[in-house]
Amino acid sequence: MDLRNKTIVISGACSGIGAETARLARSHGATVIGIDRNPPGLTLDGFIQADLGTVAGIDAAVAQLPERVDALCNIAGVPGTADGDLVARVNYLGLRHLSERVLERMPAGSAIVNIASILGAEWPQRLARHKELAAVAGFDAGAAWLREHPVPHQSCYQYFKEALLVWNYVQSQPWFLEKSVRMNCVAPGPVFTPILGDFVSMLGEERVQRDSVRIKRPAYADEIAPVVAFLCSDAARWISGVNIPVDGGLASTFI
């Protein structure tokens, strides 16, 4: 995997999957710029502290990026235990706006990688609604649509991971055809990260115990990062519009 001469922007670069992706990408020759709300605790080639839940915060961060960006890894996110509006703004609306703005700086052959989740697998049950939201252009218009179509807090994390997958499917091909920029998703199962405990609280002990027998263990962040980095590389130049589960086989046990 060769990432030399590539500038990769990673949101959520200061912990978990984002930090491991940053370390791996730099070891393969990439110049890595991290975006996070917290200061970094690892070596990066550039860092921007930003609020990715607002248009102003995202636009200010993008203004500090170099003119050329070869890959964007959308890894920042908040758990479902957070306020539902924050989940919507960071995990979906903000991710979408950041991608649209960084796309302006991406040459042909670039890549966008979104971190989805195994919890988004039920998107076909709400496909029409997710496609309707995907067709709403802009952060503010999307927020207005969500006010008219409120999402229950207990299911908001899953809902917006579903919405992200559908947006990825819908938007990836136009961007590939018109811009030659690829966009894909990676869907982890449980991962040993600082917010794993939030997922246990969000899903409930019964669901966690039921799912725990389906897999050997939660993943380590450095088992997810190589797939993200691969999708940023030229070796993945003909992969676009897909979602890759990286979950120790968890998804397969529901078939």
Written as tens digits, the pLDDT of the chain (255 aa) is 899 999 999 999 999 999 999 999 999 999 999 999 999 999 999 999 999 999 999 999 999 999 999 999 999 999 988 999 999 999 999 999 999 999 999 999 999 999 999 999 999 999 999 999 999 999 999 999 999 999 999 999 999 999 999 999 999 999 999 999 999 999 999 898 776 666 566 666 677 677 777 888 899 999 999 999 999 999 999 999 999 999 999 989 888
Residue 211 is predicted with a pLDDT of 76
**Are the CB atoms for 10 and 22 separated by under 8 Å?**
yes
Residue 20 is predicted with a pLDDT of 98
Domains along the chain with CATH numbers: 7-247 (3.40.50.720)
Residue 254 is predicted with a pLDDT of 82
Residue 201 is predicted with a pLDDT of 67
Residue 255 is predicted with a pLDDT of 83
**Are the CB atoms for 167 and 122 separated by under 8 Å?**
no
Residue 25 is predicted with a pLDDT of 98
Residue 195 is predicted with a pLDDT of 62
Which residues lie below 8 Å from residue 152, measured CB to CB, with a gap of 6+?
84
DSSP E strand boundaries for the chain: 7-11, 31-36, 46-49, 71-74, 111-115, 182-188, 191-192, 219-220, 243-246
Residue 133 is predicted with a pLDDT of 98
What whole-number distance in Å separates Cα of residue 216 and Cα of residue 207?
16
Residue 15 is predicted with a pLDDT of 94
Which residues lie below 8 Å from residue 201, measured CB to CB, with a gap of 6+?
81
Q: Indicate if 159 belongs to the active site.
A: no
Which residue of the set 157, 159, 169, 220 is catalytic? 157
What whole-number distance in Å separates Cα of residue 79 and Cα of residue 53?
13
